[in-house]
Structure 1
Amino acid sequence: MLRLLLTLCALFTLTGSVSISLQQQVSISRCPITYYTKKYENVYVDSNDNRIRICFRGPADSTDCIKGPVIDANSPIQFNTYQDGSLNDKIRKELGHLTNALKCYSYFSFLSDKRLTTLKIYQFGIETALGLDYSDYQQPNTPSTEHPRYTSTLVNGKEVQTLTAVIPAREYYVDITGCRPSGFGMARDTTKSVPEICTTYSCSLAAVGSSTTCGDGEYCDGKGSCRQMEMCTVTGPTVIDFKEKINSVSDRCEYSLLHDQSTGFSLKANFLDRRRRDVSFVDSLTLDFSDSDDIQRLFPPPPQVAGSPVTLTSSVQTSGGVDLSKDQTGVTASFSLQSSSVSVFYDGTTVQIFIDVLAGKSYTGLCADSSTSSSSRLSSDASCLNQYEDKVDDKVNCTTMTQQCNILKSAPFSSCNSKVDPQPYITACTETMCTYPDVDGLRCQFLESYAKVCEKKEVNLQNWETGAQCSDSTLMCQNTICSDHEFCGEIFGTAGCRCRAIFAAPYINSSSFGGPTVCDHNSASLTLVNCLLDQKGINSSSLTLLDKTCKGQVNDKTHTLTFNFTSDSCGTIVNTNNSQVIFTNAVTLQDEITRKDHAYIEFSCIYKKPEVNHVAFRIQDSPVVQSVTSGKWNHTVTMVAFADASRTQMVDTNYQVQLNQKIWVELKSSGLDENLISTVTDSCWATNQQSSDSTQKYFLIQDGCANLADQTVQVERNGDGILNYFSFNMFKFTDESRDLYLHCKLQLCLKQEGNCIPQCSSQGKRRRRSAKYNQEEAAFLSMGWSA
């Protein structure tokens, strides 16, 4: 005990030392230090997890700290700075990296598990060392406290170096000059590799931090290797960019695949639907060299240069600095860009871009970064963003397609796996083929795109087509010219123009092959869509009207077929039915027999017979007056018709009302207290017989609301007093009835019980009425008209 007291006595009597407490700031300006390249003149002493901490940035900032051993509860802390270089040789001998002389040090002493423990921060100019020791004294007859004491340095909250005092009464040192490349701390003469970003950080002997990473035109594969950014594949809806990152286009917009900001060059691709509305394919490809005269569209056929079609062959032809050629697999364009050789290949489904040296900093677009879909979108019409959802295709077997896509990991493709990662291509194949049917050689397109990349890497995948069952899968679409609403696809084993799903959907839903019949006087026309006919195996050139000499007119641009006929031509059949005249014809096959469905398409035009007389209605009795007793209420209801909106010109028995003339009908109650009672026109309907319960009945007002199916009906006032009125256009029943009867049902509504005005929705249905009225005390009025 005496030794401990002597030691503590010596501690407390150190020249100039002061006693400090936790959570206290002290100045080290007499001996400032450089801590992993940062210079500090103050320290903040506190504790965390019972361990003492000496932090440099402030009481609430624990990012740059020295985390020391456990400090005993209520232990005093002695602090001072000393201008003393006596330990210079000893420390520099143990820490060989130090090159400057010891100038001063700061001293922190406290009890750790009942042993006196000291932390010292030594300043060697711009270099710094940390010292740690603890006393060899242990109080007699107590459990052993002789165990190591630990300390560690933190930079930006992460541990950098550790120091352990193993033997008591001996001081241990660590050089904490260090570096902090990219914000984290490092000891001198060390390196740190981060494979996820292919970067190696170094801290030299001179405490200079540096880093190395992938060069310009390279990307990190996430596994520590830098790869050349030289290949971009767009197959179906999927983009595999230069960094082998994958993304899919879900809309039908035009995108920039590659844009060179320094030269203005753009490679543009337009995505459109094909057999499904919810899966898009790259459908056209355009090279734009920022000069309108140099715009070159590679696909769809025919290719165009400066707006004029060109004929391509296997022989290279040069136009505007671009070498163009075509073989049985697709179209290729080769040119130079920033001293780099660029090759663009397109076969109608897959685009592949190869660049020998990519100066990646100046490029944007989906190939530079497939995740930049919003910034790479070029379409100004937002309708291309509309999303559709088609029903699941029960013919698609996802398990089978996944297995077939995974053959990219098997021979012969596996010989290329070390040079070209197959996973992005497998993902692209699987995601599409689990939704889209295996038609048009689509599955093989994904495999072929991987094979072409391997070919560029000088890996020869011999006979891969045979093993993958793709030898006969090529669909020859290069010379098939389709319209905007079509795409080249397989039709009964050969290439042809199929209808795009969005375009075809309304026709398929209505089981039609084109638009409705257009009727005009005594003539008519019917336009059929060729791709709808072709998909059913109907040869449009074999179609005629009933008169076999009447054929359709072909529009080569829109790929439509239009038939025209009059009432007295092309075998038109004319029938009459009551007040109608019906012209009927049909599109049929020239041949006497057919084995195809839907080869007979009948269509007709219906006209009304010409009117032979002038129809005018006269009112039989107006106004209509009725006395009504509703419980304790006795009142008189009047129903009057008017010919003007201000309701001043009453319709009487001498007034002729023409068909489609607007009539205003006013219903008014007398003998009621308007402050208490409102009248509500519950319903009004017309019949062709005097009885209000006639079988033929046409409602103008129902449940207090206008019949929205009849746009001429307007209920202009109802339920807010004892006067209601509405208007409608005069009509007659089509059964040639000469009479028309108008019937209205009125109710009384007690205002104090709620709102009496009917609340009608935009669909014309009554939503609610707060007030109640008695259905059995309704007033019925009828008004007759005669032609």
Structure 2
Amino acid sequence: MNWNGWYRLLNQGNNIRMPELCVSQGMCSTDVPLWLNGSHPRLEDGVVTRKVCGSWNNDCCYFKSFPIQVKACPGNYYVYEFVSPAICSSVYCADIDSITPVDDPEIPEFIDPMTTTTTTVMMDPCTEQNCTEDEWCGERDGIYGCFCNESHSRTGDESYDSRETCESSSGTMSLSRCQLFEAGFPVNVLHLSDPSCNGTLQNGRLVFHFDNDDHICGTNLTANGTHFVYENSIQGVADSAGGPINRKKQLELRFSCIYQLSQTLTMDMEFNPLQSIVHKTLPDGQGMYQVRMIPYQDAAFSHPYDGSEDIVVDQRIYVEVIVKGVDSRQISTVIDSCWATPVNDQNFAVRWDLIINKCPNQDDKTVKVLQNGVSTTGRFSFKMLAFNNYYSKVFLHCAIHLCLLQGNNCAANCSPGQQHRAGRSVDIHDKASISVGPFIWTAGSTGE
């Protein structure tokens, strides 16, 4: 039989399914009976791939036929996308013990001309393809799929019009279904590094997704000193031949989400803004995260400055640096340095260092590093200062980098004699114009 499309098994008008256990040689009116080596899916599982075994010579899986697609349907029955078996003397079996009544009265009774115990309903092979208006359904190497229309955009033929989105610890890659099919790769043969992670079809595109919660899919996380990288690949094998030969070809498309480890940020606003936010687009436009620097009045970090108060010299200020949009279970924020200037220019010649190489400036005994390198939030405090020569404002700048917690000691050790030494080149820092301040100081003195 020329198997094409999806089939529903019926026996005298009742539902029946393939056996999930070994079928002995010579059963099902054939030399090599084929049975499903795996369980049937649930409704919520959608379309799944299952192995098919053929019994021979007292070995239940002596012959391994081509895998097939299986789907559970409402009404307690299954449909199978049968393909021509690898062995010509084999047939697909049905389990007589799995008979259930048909709930749909419109399903007609089909009589099998070979008078076997199983009957099939043959469906239009193009019905299941759901080709879009930019595609047309056709057959290639005995498999039906969607070809690209002449008017279809051919952007990125070599990469199958790949489009990638990166966010936090997740990534999504989509490819043109028709370009893949024309290259000989049906969508059902493709998966991520984890073979159980298949793509989903969305408006003519095959979409693959991974995340770090419950859908890792073989993703590998590495750090190279300047960036951390989530890597995965779309893989698959297609065979355009049959019988005793094969013409297999393999597809492997590697993709990655890259995040820069280090940044230098300056909080910058004109009229005493005391909380600022910036969206940073990372290298290659592949990822984005958010950085905030907020000054607080109290050690509980519950009362931020609102921009309307003068700050008395020697009054303690509490500063919080927060990074959002990255995986807080694997990545921490490290404050490398912070400094103050009397004008809104991080490179201004007049400056005072507060944090140097992750630790308090030893020449400023008021600086306290409260939290650094242990989470995506860094915190420190210092006492308000004033610049000489009639400068009346103070601007605060900090340089941070992201640290991969796995296998790294991200937390700063600022004990005497144990302070970190600079280990990275500053030329990788990406400067961003963000400000908090200016702080307007007034004369006076307060305690802690």
Q: Name the structure where helix makes up a greater proportion of residues.
A: 1
TM-score of the superposition, structure 2-length normalised? 0.34
- Structure number with greater Rg is 1
Q: Name the structure where strand makes up a greater proportion of residues.
A: 2
TM-score of the superposition, structure 1-length normalised? 0.20
